[in-house]
A and B are shown apart, each in its own frame.
Chain A
Amino acid sequence: MTKKRYERPIIIKHISGLMNKFGSNPTASYKSDIDGVAVEKLVEKFGSPLFVISEKQLRQNQREAYRIFKTRYPKVQFAWSYKTNYLNAVCSVFHQENSWAEVVSEFEYEKARRLGIKGEHIIFNGPDKSREALLRAMKEKAKIHIDHFDELYTIIELTEAEKLKAKVAIRVNMDVGIYPMWDRFGFNFENGEAWQAIKRIIAAKNLELVGLHTHIGTYMMSAEAYRVAAINLGTLAKKIKNDFDKVIEYIDLGGGFASHNTLLGQYLPAEQVVPSIEQFADSISSGLFELSFTNEEMPTLILETGRALVDDAGFLISSVIANKRLSDGRRAVIIDAGVNLLFTSFWYKHKISPAQPNGSYTENTTIYGPLCMNIDCIQDSIALPALKVGEKIVIHYVGAYDMTQWMQFIAMRPNVVMVMENGSVELIRKAENIDYLMERERVPEKLLLKKK
C-alpha cells in the first residue's frame, strides 16, 4: 500500500474583518540564491549566519542614481557615505564608480586614504574633528565641512599658526517641513547663523569657502523637502556671489533618500510609499534651476546618498535553530542571527524569505535571535511557512548600517562575502573568533589564576 503525502497539521483562526484563507501568503516566494549562487552553497562554504553583498547590485544602484541625476542636472558628484557601510570592498566598488568619500571620523578618513582616495576627494563631515585631524585635512586639501563656531575658530587659529590654507564648507540646518528638524548639526539657516558663519569665513584670509552642505535627515519620505533645501543653499550661494563676488564650487545635499525597507508601524510596503530616486532628483533639479545660475556660477551638486545605494545589495543568511509555540499559541522561530548583527531591526520590518520551498501554508510567526536576551527579537510578526531546524532564511535589504553598527555581544560577527559580477564569491571580512576578541584584553598580574 502506498502511503499518502504528508503535510503537517494546521489550524488557522479566522480574524473578523480580515481576509484570510489558506494559501494567501505574502512570503510564499522563496529566495534560494543570491545572484545565481545557491544559499545552501554559500553556507556550506562560509558558515551561518552570513552577510552577502552583491557587487552587481551595488554598481547598478550607483550607475542608475548617477544617470538619473546627470540627466536632470549637468554637474553631479556622489560621495560615498562611509558610515553607511565602510567595508573596504564596498567602498572600493563605489570609488571605482567614481564616488568620492564622505567621512565623519578620523578612522574613516584614514580608511579612505588607505583605499587610495586623494584628500581633495574627501568630504570631512561631523562634529568631532581633532586638531590633528584638521591639520591633516588641511595639508591634504580635503573639504572640511564645519559643524560649529568652535570648530571654525580652531581652523582659523590653526591656519594662522601653521601657515596653511583650508578648503571649507559649512553644514547648514534648516526647516524643510520635516519633523523632527535636525538642528543639532551645523548652522541654522532661518535665524541668520549660517550667514554669520559665512561672513566670518570670507573674512578669514586663509580659509576658502568652497561649498555649502546640508543633510536634512535620513529615510526621508518627502521629495519636496529636498527642493526646499536646494533652494535655500542655492540662495545662500547667490548671496555670496552678490555680496562678496565669490563663486561657490558645490552644493552638497547630503544623504537621506529612503530605501526599500519598510519602517515598523508603516502599513504599506516601502516600495509603494517612498519616493523614487527620480522623484528626489526631479525635486532637487527643479529647485536648483529656479535659481537660474549662470554657467560659470552653476555649482556642482554633491550627494552623500547612503542607504538608498547599498541597502538592497546586502543580504543576511541565517539558519533555523528551533521552533517554538509561545504561551498564547503564537509560533516562534529561533534563528542564528541576532539583533547584534541586525541593528536595523529596531526600526525596520525586514523582508524575510525562506531559502527553500516550504509549502504554501503560512502562519504568523515571531522571529527571535540566538542571544539569551529578551530584546533579541528580529521580527514580531511575519507570515512564514513551517521551517525545519537547519533550514535557511534570507533577510533582505541589510546593506546599510548593519555592517557598521553591528556589535560583538554574546555572539561574534560572522563572515561577510561578496558575490562578484562574474559569479565568483570572495570573502571580504573574516568572521571574528575568540583570539580576535581577547587580543585587546589585559588581565592584571594579581588576577591571574594560572601563574606564569
Chain B
Amino acid sequence: MADITIPKNLAVSDSGFLFLTSTGETFTLNEIGHFIFKQFQQNDSFETVKNKIAQEYEVDLNSLEKDLDDFIAQLKAYNLIETK
C-alpha cells in the first residue's frame, strides 16, 4: 500500500530532473534520490523502498532510515510528495 503519493503536476526526466508544472520550480536529484522517487511513482511504500535500497546499496539500516526520513521531510517541504 502506498503511504506516499506524488502530485499530478510533477514531471520527472530520466536524468533526475524534476519540474513542478504548477509553480515552474525545478529540482535535481542525485542517483539514489532519483531511484527513490521512481519507487514512489510505482506506489511503493516507505518500507518497501527502504528494503530495496538496503538490498542494492552498501548501507546500514539506521543510517538509511535517518537519511530517508530527512529526504522525505525535504520533499514534503518542497511540496513534491504527500504523505498519509
Same assembly? yes
Compute how far the CA of A21 lies from the CA of B26 in the bound complex, rounded to whole angstroms: 12
List which A313-333 residues lie within 8 A (CB) of chain B.
Answer: 323, 325, 327-331
List which A2-49 residues lie within 8 A (CB) of chain B.
Answer: 3-14, 21-22
Compute how far the CA of A207 lies from the CA of B42 in the bound complex, rounded to whole angstroms: 90
Residues of A within 8 A of B78 (CB): 11, 13, 329
Closest to A330 in B: B77
Total of A-B residue pairs, C-beta within 8 Å: 77
List which B8-36 residues lie within 8 A (CB) of chain A.
Answer: 18, 25-33, 35-36
Residues of B within 8 A of A8 (CB): 32, 67, 70-71
Contact in complex: A323, B75 (CB < 8 Å): no
Contact among B18, B67, B76 with A9 in the assembled complex (CB-CB below 8 Å) = B67
Residues of B within 8 A of A14 (CB): 25-28
Compute how far the CA of A14 lies from the CA of B51 in the bound complex, rounded to whole angstroms: 30
B6 contacts chain A at the CB level, 8 A cutoff: no
Contact of A12 with B27 at beta-carbon distance under 8 Å, contacts A5-B57, A325-B70, A329-B74 already known = yes
Contact of A6 with B58 at beta-carbon distance under 8 Å, contacts A11-B29, A12-B27, A14-B25 already known = yes
B2 contacts chain A at the CB level, 8 A cutoff: no
Contact in complex: A5, B58 (CB < 8 Å): yes
B68 contacts chain A at the CB level, 8 A cutoff: yes
A69 contacts chain B at the CB level, 8 A cutoff: no
Contact among B57, B66, B68, B80 with A3 in the assembled complex (CB-CB below 8 Å) = B57
Residues of B within 8 A of A5 (CB): 57-58
Chain B interface bracket (under 10, 10 to 19, 20 to 34, 35 or more): 20 to 34
A98 smallest CB distance to B (angstroms): 54
Closest to B25 in A: A13
A361 contacts chain B at the CB level, 8 A cutoff: yes
A226 smallest CB distance to B (angstroms): 49
Contact among A6, A13, A22 with B59 in the assembled complex (CB-CB below 8 Å) = A6
Contact among B18, B25, B58, B64 with A4 in the assembled complex (CB-CB below 8 Å) = B58
Residues of B within 8 A of A3 (CB): 55-58
Residues of A within 8 A of B56 (CB): 3-4
Compute how far the CA of A22 lies from the CA of B53 in the bound complex, rounded to whole angstroms: 22
Compute how far the CA of A9 lies from the CA of B28 in the bound complex, rounded to whole angstroms: 11
In terms of DSSP, what is the predominant structure of the interface of chain B?
helix
Closest to A20 in B: B28
Residues of A within 8 A of B35 (CB): 9
Contact in complex: B57, A323 (CB < 8 Å): no
A144 smallest CB distance to B (angstroms): 60
Compute how far the CA of A361 lies from the CA of B33 in the bound complex, rounded to whole angstroms: 13
Compute how far the CA of A323 lies from the CA of B68 in the bound complex, rounded to whole angstroms: 13
B35 smallest CB distance to A (angstroms): 8
Residues of B within 8 A of A323 (CB): 66, 70
Compute how far the CA of A361 lies from the CA of B71 in the bound complex, rounded to whole angstroms: 14
Compute how far the CA of A21 lies from the CA of B73 in the bound complex, rounded to whole angstroms: 21
Contact of A9 with B77 at beta-carbon distance under 8 Å, contacts A3-B58, A14-B25, A22-B28 already known = no
Compute how far the CA of A361 lies from the CA of B28 in the bound complex, rounded to whole angstroms: 12
Contact in complex: A325, B27 (CB < 8 Å): no
Residues of B within 8 A of A6 (CB): 32, 53, 57-59, 64
Compute how far the CA of A21 lies from the CA of B53 in the bound complex, rounded to whole angstroms: 25
Compute how far the CA of A25 lies from the CA of B75 in the bound complex, rounded to whole angstroms: 22
Contact of A7 with B30 at beta-carbon distance under 8 Å, contacts A13-B25, A329-B78 already known = yes
Contact of A7 with B77 at beta-carbon distance under 8 Å, contacts A14-B25, A14-B26, A325-B70 already known = no
Q: What residues make up the interface of A, taking CB atoms closer than 8 Å to B?
A: 3-14, 21-22, 323, 325, 327-331, 361
Additional A-B contacts beyond A3-B56, A11-B74 (12; CB < 8 A) = A4-B56, A4-B57, A7-B32, A8-B70, A9-B30, A9-B68, A10-B29, A10-B33, A11-B18, A13-B25, A14-B28, A323-B66
27 contacts between A and B (CB under 8 A): A3-B55, A5-B58, A6-B32, A6-B57, A7-B30, A8-B32, A8-B70, A9-B30, A9-B33, A9-B35, A9-B71, A10-B29, A10-B30, A10-B32, A10-B71, A11-B18, A11-B80, A12-B28, A14-B25, A14-B26, A14-B28, A325-B73, A325-B74, A329-B76, A329-B78, A331-B70, A331-B74
